[in-house]
Structure 1
Amino acid sequence: MKKLNSVLLIDDDMATNFISKMLIKKAGITDHIETVLNEQQAIEYLKNSGKYENSDGIFPKPMLILLDINMPVMDGWEFAEAFSKLDENQKGEVIIVMLTSSLNPDDKERAANLPVISGFQNKILTMEGLNSIMNQYFS
């Protein structure tokens, strides 16, 4: 399985981010996991990824974004819209998978109709779900 240069987690729930981060570390799919608490921070990160240095070097451009739908500043749908307006070099070749606790089938259909959204999964992320994402998009 391919190792990703970076994974970006976008979720306002610290516990969910912690669990996702531990799972990603355990799976060994990347050495760099960036966590942001809202979509606005994610857009700023993407605009700066690959350009600026932090204490670890540069902000690596993510290959995978795990995106929560229901967020306080900007929801997942608004993020998808803002993401689609970024320059191609800011977007990179990223796979965006929406994670949601919503059981609304309309959300899944809406995600399927957005070109920037590659996949849709229920949260909390599981090892099985992560393996499914990796096999589907990065094998």
Structure 2
Amino acid sequence: MKKLGRILLIDDSEADNFIHLRRFRKLKIADEVVVRMNGREGLDYLTTPLPDGSYPRPDLLFLDINMPVMDGWSFLDTYQKLPAAHRARVTIALLTSSKGDAESIRADSYTVLDGHESKPLHRDLIHRLLITFFPDRFDRASSALH
């Protein structure tokens, strides 16, 4: 199993961030997990150059929809206009508590979204996402995911 380089988690819920960070660390699936508390902070992170002149490009981005300052929908409106070099390789929107029909339809309208899931992320869901979007790095037999 080859770890992901970076996961970006954009969510204003400290409780959810605590749970998700703990799960990611326990599963040892990424070298780095970056947390930003709202969509504006997430966009700033993605568009601020690193010391070498490149931009941070997460392998995986998890996005909450309901946040202050800039919600997930507003983030996505701006994010989809960014050059690919500023976007994550895989973007998943986390819809707060459940995936309602209106939210699902709206999420489906964003071509930059690779999927949408309900919070909180549990181990089996993380495993499924990893083997779906990163089959060259994770497979059903990946011991770290069990």
Common fold: TM-score over 0.5: yes
2:109 match: 113
Deviation at 1:110, TM superposition (A): 1.6
* CA distance in structure 2 between the aligned counterparts of 1:30 and 1:64, rounded to whole angstroms: 10
Deviation at 1:114, TM superposition (A): 1.0
1:20 match: 20
The answer (yes or no) to whether the contact 1:69–1:99 under 8 Å persists in 2 is yes
1:97 match: 92
Deviation at 1:28, TM superposition (A): 1.1
The answer (yes or no) to whether the contact 2:62–2:94 under 8 Å persists in 1 is yes
Ranges of 4+ aligned residues in structure 1 off by more than 6 Å: none
Deviation at 1:38, TM superposition (A): 0.4
Deviation at 1:2, TM superposition (A): 3.9
Give me the CA root mean square deviation: 1.8
Letter matched to residue 97 of structure 1 = I
Q: Where in structure 1 are there 5+ consecutive unaligned residues?
A: none
Moved more, 17-26 or 82-91: 82-91
Counterpart pick for 1:61 among 53, 57, 64: 57
Instruction: Give the match's secondary structure for 1:65.
Output: strand
Deviation at 1:87, TM superposition (A): 2.3
Q: Where in structure 2 are there 5+ consecutive unaligned residues?
A: 136-146
* CA distance in structure 2 between the aligned counterparts of 1:59 and 1:34, rounded to whole angstroms: 14
Check if 1:85 corresponds to 2:61.
no
| Distance 1:71-1:125 versus aligned 2 partners, 3 A rule | same
The answer (yes or no) to whether the contact 2:46–2:56 under 8 Å persists in 1 is no
* CA distance in structure 2 between the aligned counterparts of 1:26 and 1:48, rounded to whole angstroms: 29
Instruction: Give the match's secondary structure for 2:30.
Output: coil
Letter matched to residue 94 of structure 1 = R
Letter matched to residue 52 of structure 1 = P
Letter matched to residue 121 of structure 2 = L
The answer (yes or no) to whether the contact 1:3–1:30 under 8 Å persists in 2 is yes
Q: Identity over the aligned pairs, expressed in percent? A: 35
Deviation at 1:78, TM superposition (A): 0.9
Check if 1:129 corresponds to 2:125.
yes
